[in-house]
Structure 1
């Protein structure tokens, strides 16, 4: 069984039951299944074969859902990418991901045109039209060299699907490649199989007791694995309804929750903070919620308790990572929820705390969290050494320090050694440092995460430069050209030298401790 087969089953059973509400429109399960099959047929007619890589450069919308399931149904491997990434970041993923087709918004076509020469495998560009209200100007793409590769998304949905023949699929075939930042600073493509996707979606749905009566506010970005499983696949596998918001806003969440009587909300702690602080938010608008889900970063206990007290709804924290499709833990719904904990093992997944030798540690001891189950990725795309280091004897080594209590509840002690969590998104210092090192006037650079009241953490940089006239403003402007917005430094501090140990290694922790002492 895979997610496409399950969607077909639900469509046959439920037919006219709503699957999606978006911008006032309703799409039933049978309409969604029809669109998915037409799109899959259109991909086949465009030359997409089983195993070809198809990138999704789309925001939250029915188009994303149709493109995702349509590509999977055609046997393609989908590669969801944040459309807000910089051109350099997107170009890297399209190139390293061996992308044959891109499904994108028309506003991004000029960017694809500029990088076209660096994408030798790209053969098809399927273009979704941006609503007129969101367009700043009309685009004339007829003169672009990429124009000959372009096809309208709407035309794909007019394909004659009667002749569509789905390829024979194995549960071990790669369904999705999710690019996740690595400690080397370059993104790594986590390969998730059809089994990985379906098992985690099914197990999450079962664990959270999702059913056809549920209506899930889908405002987390669909290209992110948290949304992909918890707010998209799991609900659709349960016959539930997606209440899609193109982007998060407190006003939008309160409005859609009240209008459709939403039952589940999933978000990162930053979103809960904004909802709690939103002065116009009426708690009565969220009365229909039976469950709130938090992930992506640890939620401060004060925030969790404040939110639950104001809105009278339980917030269940969980844990996951792209390499595990992503969920491994959730606070259970049938017994005590422990604030500050990421919960217990979900169905069919085992978490364990080990020492440096891989030996399991007793309760209360801090060690590395490792994971085993049908949700664990196949490996990193074209990165055998990184795969061998991360997956050992069937166990996924997360790199996170954690502990377990006597009742089997897990607690994250520290995020990955140097990782910075900005609004639930992972930012690895090396990635930012490499951008800084590329500046001609930067001699040395180091990056740390510092507390941020709105986003959990923000990026702070320390640099040594050879040009005394270089300013923070100039260096920040340079970073904006090469980094996605959430990765940008909040501040850059100039030092005469960086602290180092006897071997010359920069002491990041010393700078972090110094920052804390100065606060």
Structure 2
């Protein structure tokens, strides 16, 4: 099968020309209009010198221009390199240099940064700024007229489509190379699993430069002929009003987003009346949070699992059938998950091991990093670095990241287990647990908590936990914070807490 992201758009444009593809700030773009603009971008990029395999950096927030540029680059045979627009100059410069980006499409607010980077990097030939007043570099020139006498290249399933830079916990981020097969097959699996229909309305509040949004909110929605309802960035009040006013049927978010929506006091289930299902990924969803959210808004959250390297989804709870709260579900169509020991042998059901993944969604490899690629992909299986267990029905339970496991006096402590217990306390809004070096025990458990009750004490939390956790799992230190550090998708950054802790020590 020839999986091709651009073909997905073309087919939807032919089938549903007058349906809305994008809704943004009370304006609509139909599939016919979207495809026409994408073809203009593609033909003008080819005319400017973009060839098959050339990298084009896309440094935009959530907006129609992101979607149009994304498909335009792909249609031209180029490779999309999405970059977080709030990155520093050094972070952007590294990605542009490492990917050898030939062109950049960015928001006009980044002109000073990108212009200075261009002086340092010889390979950048073209710059286009969305919202720029400079005619020379204005993105608008790409969609005004379709360049003549340019034929778009033939795109094959194995051709590179996207390079996603994974946030490096140590050292520089790695560029995960994803083919059309990787991206389109994953979108197809999600469309089947969630039973996407052309009358669905998917809210895109997750950052579009992130793979979760790219696959679930953009590619799957476009493939299904459905409507992407875009909000520029996640704001809980704006999001809940958009869901209500636009009659949104599908919402994809990370647990922190659901937590913020849960904290809204003046909103009830009527605001989610149109919602068919909510999807959660990006980080493990605390069971207590899921149950409270579903109770308040009378909707269901289906939790799944994925990584940048797997385009991203590998498992999801079924929308119809048995949903096991606390699990990330079962294999999505066409993908196989397995739990193995350190030698790569499958462990008995119920035992903890490393989760590995095989399927058409597994990346080609890391850009320019053959050693890291060989370490991550063995015999076509991608080793996730996540500890998990699988029950007799094939449902997967993420235990923790291998590197996050805490060893207290020889005993294994999984931070998520401790977090789940602390989350059950009614005064706790957020919690992150990690291991702190200790001269007597090797490591001890420390909890960073955000509370909605200023009177709560460390002893209150310990007393709450002591009947629910073995003594060695109890936090030896608890630090109260006003908020926990998060990345652009809202995922709690434990490594930032680790850095803070090292500085304190």
Give me the TM-score of the superposition, normalised by structure 2.
0.81
Tell me: CA distance 1:313–1:159, structure 2 relative to 1, closer, same or farther (3 Å): same
- Cα offset, 1:449, TM superposition: 8.8
- Cα offset, 1:181, TM superposition: 2.5
Residues 355-394 of structure 1 correspond to what in structure 2 (within 5 A)?
355-394=341-380
The residue aligned with 1:315 is 301
Give me the TM-score of the superposition, normalised by structure 1.
0.79
- Cα offset, 1:254, TM superposition: 1.5
Please tell me whether residue 399 in structure 1 is matched to residue 407 in structure 2.
Answer: no
Residues 180-329 of structure 1 correspond to what in structure 2 (within 5 A)?
180-329=166-315
Please tell me whether residue 18 in structure 1 is matched to residue 20 in structure 2.
Answer: yes
The residue aligned with 2:500 is 492
- Cα offset, 1:213, TM superposition: 1.3
Q: Deviations over 1:134-166 (max 9, x none)?
A: xxxxx8x79xxxxxxx52111110132553411
Q: Distance in 1 between matches of 2:492 and 2:192?
A: 33
The residue aligned with 1:434 is none
Secondary structure of 1:337's aligned partner? coil
- Cα offset, 1:88, TM superposition: 1.0
- Cα offset, 1:360, TM superposition: 0.5
The residue aligned with 2:113 is 111
- Cα offset, 1:364, TM superposition: 0.6
Tell me: CA distance 1:265–1:495, structure 2 relative to 1, closer, same or farther (3 Å): closer
Q: Distance in 2 between matches of 1:46 and 1:159?
A: 13
Q: Distance in 2 between matches of 1:242 and 1:38?
A: 21
Q: Deviations over 1:277-320 (max 9, x none)?
A: 11232321110001000001111111100111111111000000
Q: Deviations over 1:343-398 (max 9, x none)?
A: 00000000000001100111011000000000000000010110011000000000
Contact conserved, 1:192 with 1:377, CA < 8 A, in 2? yes
Say which is worse superposed, 156-165 or 201-210, in terms of deviation.
Answer: 156-165
Please tell me whether residue 60 in structure 1 is matched to residue 68 in structure 2.
Answer: no
Segments of 5+ residues of structure 1 without an aligned counterpart are 131-138, 143-149, 422-426, 430-445, 455-478, 499-519
From 118, 124, 135, the equivalent of 1:122 is 124
The residue aligned with 1:509 is none
Q: Deviations over 1:172-222 (max 9, x none)?
A: 111000000235421000000011111000111111101101101110000
Secondary structure of 1:417's aligned partner? helix
- Cα offset, 1:252, TM superposition: 1.3
Number of positions where the alignment pairs a residue of Structure 1 with one of Structure 2: 430
Tell me: CA distance 1:495–1:79, structure 2 relative to 1, closer, same or farther (3 Å): closer
The residue aligned with 1:172 is 158
Q: Distance in 2 between matches of 1:255 and 1:179?
A: 33
Tell me: CA distance 1:409–1:494, structure 2 relative to 1, closer, same or farther (3 Å): closer
Residues 79-90 of structure 1 correspond to what in structure 2 (within 5 A)?
79-90=81-92
Tell me: CA distance 1:46–1:494, structure 2 relative to 1, closer, same or farther (3 Å): closer
Q: Distance in 1 between matches of 2:197 and 2:383?
A: 33
Contact conserved, 1:220 with 1:247, CA < 8 A, in 2? yes
Segments of 5+ residues of structure 2 without an aligned counterpart are 406-414, 417-431, 435-442, 452-484
Tell me: CA distance 1:118–1:319, structure 2 relative to 1, closer, same or farther (3 Å): same
Residues 310-459 of structure 1 correspond to what in structure 2 (within 5 A)?
310-418=296-404, 451-453=448-450
Secondary structure of 1:33's aligned partner? helix
From 5, 15, 39, the equivalent of 2:41 is 39
Q: Distance in 1 between matches of 2:446 and 2:152?
A: 47
- Cα offset, 1:255, TM superposition: 1.4
Contact conserved, 1:37 with 1:161, CA < 8 A, in 2? no
- Cα offset, 1:112, TM superposition: 1.3
Q: Deviations over 1:222-273 (max 9, x none)?
A: 0000001011111110011001000011111111111121101110000001
The residue aligned with 1:91 is 93
Contact conserved, 1:254 with 1:282, CA < 8 A, in 2? no
Q: Distance in 2 between matches of 1:485 and 1:406?
A: 30
- Cα offset, 1:98, TM superposition: 0.4
Q: Distance in 1 between matches of 2:235 and 2:327?
A: 27
Q: Distance in 2 between matches of 1:269 and 1:110?
A: 35
Q: Distance in 1 between matches of 2:29 and 2:104?
A: 24
Contact conserved, 1:293 with 1:317, CA < 8 A, in 2? yes
